[in-house]
Structure 1
Amino acid sequence: MEPNLRRSSSDGELLKDPASYRRLIGRLMYLTISGLEITYAIFTLSQFLSQPHTAHLYALHHLLRYIRSTVGQGLLFSTNFEKRLMAYVDADWAGCPNTRRSVTRFCVFIGDSLVVWRSKK
């Protein structure tokens, strides 16, 4: 998902049967444990569970194509990696277009490997 792309609750037409959208989001929530790079996209799309629109479904299908193409990737530590802990934090004031609430994000690296990532409204 593009970082500066703002989804709103009025993107596209309302889905006639939102049950499949809800099931897919529910199944993808499990992947956030091991797939840190998809966490932001899943949590952004899960904000529209009550009234998903076609644009949200298209974004979800795009995410599923991304997951299918990156099945063999994972977190790897080399035997001689530099034991360095780095953390980055970002916050945008009133960044959500629907609720006008702030979104705070952080990520933590050990060496060059991402180990923790979180985004919270």
Structure 2
Amino acid sequence: MLGKLQYLTVTHLDIVYAINLLSQFVAAPRRTHMVAVERVLRFLKCTPGQGILLTAKGPMKLEAYCDADWAGCLDTRQSCTGYLIKVGGSPVSWKSKKQSMVARSSVDAEYRAMATTVSEVIWL
């Protein structure tokens, strides 16, 4: 079930974080995790037809947004990085991932998120 939901994250950015979080418990799932999966499925059922729209018109302007939470994971105290990159108003790259190191401050977490985003922009 979770693998199919991961496939949907290609076009549904609004479930990326939830699916990323649930994927951490695949080895030892509990009832609470299944309840969370059912909640995601109900959300998808209530929002049909919503997803990514790639337009051919408009200026080819590059926009990048990033954010991080400081020590957001209560188990490991790792921060989470997220970014979205748009070209011409359409999303072309996005990511939500735990940072590999524990940040000592919110500034450190935000700086790591920005560095990850800039690296992706340079690659694009």
Q: Report the TM-score when normalising by structure 2.
A: 0.66
SS in 2 for 1:48: coil
Q: 2:72 aligns with which of 81, 84, 95?
A: 95
One-letter identity of the residue aligned with 1:53: R
State whether residues 84 and 110 of structure 1, in contact with CA within 8 Å, keep that contact through their aligned partners in structure 2. Answer: yes
Aligned to 1:119: 96
Residues 40-49 or 78-87, more deviating: 78-87
| 1-structure distance, mates of 2:96, 2:54 | 24
Q: How large is the Cα RMSD of the aligned pairs?
A: 2.0
Q: Shift in Å at residue 68 of structure 1?
A: 2.0
User: Are 1:40 and 2:21 an aligned pair?
Assistant: no
**Does the CA-based 8 Å contact 1:36-1:116 persist in structure 2?**
no
Structure 2 unaligned spans of 5+: 99-124
**C-alpha deviation, 1:84, in angstroms:** 1.3
Equivalent residues of 2:68, 2:80 under 8 A apart: yes
Identical aligned residues as a percent: 46
SS at match of 1:120: strand
Higher relative contact order (CA 8 A, sep 6+): 1
- Checking the alignment, whether the CA contact within 8 Å between 1:75 and 1:113 is kept in structure 2 is yes
Q: How does 1:1-121 map to 2 (within 5 A)?
A: 24-121=1-98
Count how many residue pairs are aligned between Structure 1 and Structure 2: 98
Off by >3 Å, runs of 4+ in structure 1: 77-80
How big is each residue's C-alpha offset from its partner over 1:3-39, in whole Å with a ceiling of 9 and x where there is no partner? xxxxxxxxxxxxxxxxxxxxx1122122222323222
Extract unaligned runs of 5+ from structure 1.
Answer: 1-23
Higher helix share: 2
Report how far residue 43 of structure 1 moved: 0.8
